[in-house]
Structure 1
Amino acid sequence: MNGQKRSDVKVGGLVDIVLKADQRTGKLTQGRVARLLTKSPTHPHGIKVMLTDGQVGRVAKIHEG
C-alpha cells in the first residue's frame, strides 16, 4: 500500500515516511505511527503522520503485519 488513503494508515502501524527535508531525495524513514495529521480521506502525496519518535512526514509505504 502506498499510504494515499487515510483508512489504510493505522496508529501503531509500521510505515516508511518521507520527511520534509528529504522530499528532494526521496529518502525514507521507518517508524511507527503515533498520530494521523491529515484530516482528508485521501492525499495524492501521502497521508501526513507523526511517528512515535516525533518525526513528521508523508507515508510512502505501509508495511503489512
Structure 2
Amino acid sequence: MKNIRIMIDARKLSNIKIGLFVEIVQKPHQRTGELTEGVVGKILTKSTYHPHGIKVQLESGIVGRVKNSIE
C-alpha cells in the first residue's frame, strides 16, 4: 500500500499533533526542499502560526519544519 500525502496547513499549530506521520524539511535542506519522513515526537514552535511551517522534532530526533502529513 502506498503512502498518501495529505495537504494540511502546516503553518498552523492546531493542525500538528504528537504521533502524526509527517514530512519535514531540515534546516540544511531548505534550499533543495529535500523531505524527511517521520512521526512527530515533540512540537518545538510555541506560537500558533509560523509562515514557514511548525517546527517539530521527530521520534528519531531529527528537527525540521512540517510540510505535509502522510496517511
Aligned length: 64
For residue 40 of structure 1, the aligned residue among 18, 37, 47 is 47
Unaligned ranges ≥5, structure 2: 1-7
Aligned-partner SS, 2:37: strand
Identity %: 53
1:1-65 equivalent positions in 2, closer than 5 A: 1-64=8-71
| TM-score, length of structure 1 as denominator length | 0.94
Unaligned ranges ≥5, structure 1: none
Structure 1 position 2, deviation (Å): 3.3
Please say which structure displays the higher CA radius of gyration: 2
Q: Distance in 1 between matches of 2:24 and 2:52?
A: 11
| TM-score, length of structure 2 as denominator length | 0.86
